[in-house]
Structure formats: C-alpha cells, structure tokens
Structure 1
Amino acid sequence: MRYPPEPWHLRGSLVISVFRVPRDEVPDGHLPVGARLLTVAGNAFVAVAFVSYEPGGVLSYEELLVATPVWDRGAVAVSVPQIWVDSEASRQGGRELWAIPKELARFGRGSSIAAVAATGGVPLPGRWRLAGTIAQCLAGRDARARAAMSGRVGLARAAWLFPAAGPLGYLTGRTPLVSLTMRDMRLTFGETS
C-alpha cells in the first residue's frame, strides 16, 4: 500500500472532548524513552477526537484517536496511545513515518470502539492555531514529529458512548471536562523534529 510522503496536508472537521482519568488506567506503552504522562493529583488528561478528513488534502478518511499530554525532552508534547482509521494508506503511513499505532476500523452504527453525538455549540471568534510535537514509540522505535492545525473552534456538548468491553472501556461513564468542534480545519503533519 502506498501513502503520501511527509508532511501530510489534510483538511476536515473534528469533535474533541477532554476527560480526567486516573493515571493508572491510561495506556502508556506508546511513550518514547524519557517521556512521561503529565498528571495532576494522580489523574491524566485524555483527549478523544473523531476526525473527518475531507477531499482537498493528501488523503480522505475518518479517524478516532486518543491523545495525552506528556513531558518529553524538557517540553510539553502530545502522544497517541490509541488510534483507528478507515484507510489502509493512513494506517501504514502513520505507523511507518511516525510510529503512530494506527489500526483499521469501521465507523458508524454498531461500532465496538466508540460513538459520539455533538450538539449545540458556541462559536469562538477568529481562526485558532495550535502547533506542537508528537512523541511516539511503536515496536521499540521512538519517533517525534511536528504538527500544526488551524480552524474555526466552537464550544459544544458531546455525548460519547464507549462500550465497557471495548478498547476504550476505561472511559465508560466518564463525563468530558470540555468538548470542542473545529470546522474548516487545516492540518500539516510530519515535519520531523
């Protein structure tokens, strides 16, 4: 399977929620040597996002990911312990280029991973921009990459369903601290750091 060379330029939209989870319940096998989860009073912060990458970027696909803030090389970074995509090119490229543990999945009714419904929303002014480092380890290989995202952000209410027996069962019954949407999103991923 062929995939685009880095960096990847993608467009789309997303819904993201942040949960507070006891540190010992959060997966950490994805952390590179020397990195550690950031915690407050024994809790980590886990962001769960459903992303729809649309035509106009190098690939079009859907993605469900979990991200955690980490302390890596003297700075805050983000690490992805769990992620599913519905594109073989995205799965292979993510694994080979950046050590992101992408797995294949189908989304929609009956998903055994998660479902989300976002409602309401208060648009925040302007176009927001975020940039930072992604720090990963997969099969004993450490990798770091740069990512930059921009888009129109809104506060939202997101109702997530995580089947208790599924891979995100540790989030079952948890209420998000905050939920956001991003429309007209532009993402550049993969400038190696």
Structure 2
Amino acid sequence: MTYPTPPWTLQGYAIQTLQLIDIERVRSLIPPEFDIVSLLPGKTLGGVYLSLYGSGSVLEYSELIVVAGRVRYSGKTGGWISHIYVDNHDSVAGGREIWGLPKEIAEFTWEKCDHVAWPTANRSTRYHHRVTVRQGENTLCRFSYNHAKFGWQMPLPLTLNDNVLSTLSGNILYFNGDFKSRLGLVASQLEVPPESPFANLGLKQPWLTLDMDKLCLTAGEPQVVGQLNSSLMIQA
C-alpha cells in the first residue's frame, strides 16, 4: 500500500465542535507520561472534527477525528486523538505509520436537505446538512448542522488539531497542523449512539461549532520528542 510522504496538504470542507470532557473519563485513554490540560476544574477541551477532502488534496477522503482532550508533554501542548476514522485505505496506512494515529476504516454519508426536517429519536430538527459515520451496522455518530451564512478567511490557531501529540513504537511524537479557512459559527447537533466506541467520552451538545469552508490543511512531519516509560503502549 502506498501513501504520500509528509507533509500532507488537504483541501476541502470541515466542521469542528468544541466540548468540555470530564478528565476522569479520558485518563485511561492517555498514557501517564502526558499531563491532561484542565480548562475548568475536572474538565478538558475536546470535540469532534468532520471533514471532506477533495480536489487539490494529496489524497481524497472523508475523516472523523475525536479529540479526547488537550495534553502536555515536555513543554509541548496538543490535542490527543483517541479515535479517528477515514474512508481511504492509504490514509489509514499513512496515519498509522507516519503519525501514530489509530485510524480505522468507516463509511461516511454526507446529506443535504433544504425543505424537510431531519427526524431524530425525539423530534424533528431544521438543520439543512447531516453527516453520518458508520462501521458496518454500527453508527459511530450523526452530526446535523447548518452552513455559516458569513465567514472570514483566516489562519485557525485555536482548532483542536493545530498541534497533536501521539505515540508510535514507544516514541512520543509531536506534529503541527497548519489550518487556513473561511470560518463561521454555526448551530449543530451531535448524536453518539451507545454502541459507538467513543460513547463513554460523554460528548454532550457542542457549546461551539466552527464551519470551515475553503479549508487548506497541512499535516506536518512528526518529531520524536520523548519515549514512553510505562508498560502502557498505545497501538498505532
């Protein structure tokens, strides 16, 4: 299987939620060498990133990233990606072998509905867009949202994926994600079924959702910044 060498340049569209997550829920997912950054007492900053990379990208694919929180190691701070799914096998291999990310294959359905309400378990909503991510018969998540009606072109230093810490073969890796996009704030609704692998993170309704149109992302080459000292090894 072949994949591009880093850096990877990806272009398209993305949605990013920002959510508070209980630190006690994610501690077991993160090696003890990392300190979990607290935003509020007992809470770290996490969320969900959904993207569709198209023409102009080194690979074309959809992606779901679940950031379980912010972590710190040896003076470097970044997001900790606990779950990540794509619909491209080359992306899976590159993500695992270059960046130490636990990528898995999933199916993405991007839908648009201008006139009919989306049905949910308890009510209908008036969101015009929805993306559903599945693995086989299991739904990982369903995300409904509206596109922003306005935005401004700018670098995105505050996204969860701007800097990432990960592990690979006992090494601790650090890499940058350089984002530029037309940015807007939108209303959204996130549904995570009980059977989803990340349901135990307790992801609630997003308190902030960023709409990223005309996105250009560069995933940089990782640097080795340390080694795992414990017997807990995160499989890349």
Q: What is the rounded CA distance, in whole Å, between the counterparts of 1:8 and 1:176 in structure 2? A: 28
Aligned positions, number: 192
Q: What is the rounded CA distance, in whole Å, between the counterparts of 2:153 and 2:190 in structure 1? A: 27
Q: Which residue of 1 aligns with 2:142?
A: 115
Q: Which residue of 2 aligns with 1:55?
A: 55
Q: Does 1:126 align with 2:153?
A: yes
8 Å Cα contact 2:10-2:216 kept in structure 1: yes
- For 2:178, give the aligned amino acid: A
Q: What is the rounded CA distance, in whole Å, between the counterparts of 1:137 and 1:187 in structure 2? A: 22
**Structure 1 121/5 Cα, relative in aligned 2: closer, same or farther at 3 Å?**
same
Q: Does 1:20 align with 2:28?
A: no
Q: Which residue of 2 aligns with 1:44?
A: 44
8 Å Cα contact 1:54-1:60 kept in structure 2: yes
Q: 1:28, CA displacement in angstroms?
A: 5.0
Greater shift, 7-16 or 171-180, is seen at 171-180
**Structure 1 133/126 Cα, relative in aligned 2: closer, same or farther at 3 Å?**
closer
Quick one: which of 177, 198, 205 aligns to 1:147?
A: 177
Q: 1:75, CA displacement in angstroms?
A: 3.3
Q: What is the rounded CA distance, in whole Å, between the counterparts of 1:3 and 1:177 in structure 2? A: 36
**Structure 1 6/19 Cα, relative in aligned 2: closer, same or farther at 3 Å?**
same
Q: Which residue of 1 aligns with 2:167?
A: 137
Q: What is the rounded CA distance, in whole Å, between the counterparts of 1:75 and 1:91 in structure 2? A: 26
Q: Which residue of 2 aligns with 1:102?
A: 103
RMSD of the TM alignment (CA)?
2.2
Hey, which of these two has a bigger chunk of strand by percent? 1
8 Å Cα contact 1:164-1:172 kept in structure 2: no
8 Å Cα contact 1:98-1:190 kept in structure 2: no
Q: Does 1:35 align with 2:37?
A: no
- For 2:36, give the aligned amino acid: L
Q: Which residue of 2 aligns with 1:189?
A: 219
Q: What is the rounded CA distance, in whole Å, between the counterparts of 1:153 and 1:4 in structure 2? A: 28
Q: What is the rounded CA distance, in whole Å, between the counterparts of 2:10 and 2:53 in structure 1? A: 6
Greater shift, 63-72 or 124-133, is seen at 124-133
**Structure 1 110/14 Cα, relative in aligned 2: closer, same or farther at 3 Å?**
closer
Q: Which runs of 5+ in 1 are unaligned?
A: none
Q: What is the rounded CA distance, in whole Å, between the counterparts of 1:121 and 1:5 in structure 2? A: 34
TM norm structure 2: 0.74
Q: Which runs of 5+ in 2 are unaligned?
A: 110-131, 224-236
- For 2:140, give the aligned amino acid: I
**CA deviation digits over 1:67-94, x for unaligned, max 9?**
2322222132222111001111000001
8 Å Cα contact 1:99-1:141 kept in structure 2: no
8 Å Cα contact 2:19-2:203 kept in structure 1: no
**CA deviation digits over 1:130-152, x for unaligned, max 9?**
38432102453422222211000
